[in-house]
Amino acid sequence: MRLVSLFLLTTAAACAQPFSFGIKGGLPMTDFLDAARSQNLSSTAYTNRYIVGPTAELRLPFGLGVEFDVLYRHFGYASTGLLSGVTSTITNSNTTSNAWEFPLLAKYRFHGKLFRPFVDAGVSWDKLSGLTQTVTRTVASVTNTSTTSSPAELANDTSRGFVMGGGIDVKVLLIHLSPEVRYTHWGSSHFVDPIGLISSKKNQAEFLLGITF
């Protein structure tokens, strides 16, 4: 009988911990890459202004919770170089990639009825996928094109970092709206250009809006 009572109490406690899921989207507040120029070489970089992916959270007692997200973003960069001599060489490269971010966060919600401020912190992993660089080289009016998934400036296709953020949880009927500003410091750079034209930033800021049920 004691075992049955213990089982029922454990089951009730587990059911009392709500599990929420939904979608999270937002805007990067910082660029993914830094680009530079030199006398004969130049680079430009872009970061698509969206972040999106699924989110899930286990809500624990006393305002605590554990959140896990899968966030997608897309970026790219291009480089142009001109080497003058007896025969001029023009080199153009265009690189695109997807980046998948996997934050695992501990969360604390402050007390409130409709509006509950919250803070969160944890660790995040970042993984590049679909990286493609196309290089077009023209020498004496002869053009050659090649592609690679491992450009010379690629230092790490994965990275791990520390995450912290804060926002407000707003309950509207059965839906929770959670605007948030989140900061991540990565432990290593994805890109380190040997000649210094392209480098990835270690500090990242994002504005995110979660919609969960």
CA 200 to CA 190: how far, in whole Å?
Answer: 6
Helices (H) and strands (E) in the chain, counts: 1, 13
What is the pLDDT at residue 6? 43
What is the pLDDT at residue 88? 78
Please name the residue that has the structure tokens 């130049």. 42
Burial (CB count within 10 angstroms: exposed 0-12, middle 13-18, buried 19+), residue 157: middle
pTM: 0.86
Could you read off the pLDDT tens digit of each residue along the chain, which spans 213 residues?
554 444 334 444 444 459 999 999 999 999 999 998 877 889 999 999 999 999 999 999 999 999 999 999 999 999 998 877 656 788 999 999 999 999 999 999 999 888 999 999 999 999 999 999 999 999 988 999 999 999 999 999 999 999 999 999 999 988 999 999 999 999 999 999 888 889 999 999 999 999 999
- Supply angle C-alpha 167, 168, 172, rounded to 5: 145
Encode 163-198: b = buried (16+ Cβ within 10 Å), e = exposed.
Answer: bebebbbeeeeeebebebebbbebeeebbebeeebb
CA 9 to CA 36: how far, in whole Å?
Answer: 62
What is the C-alpha R_g of the chain?
23
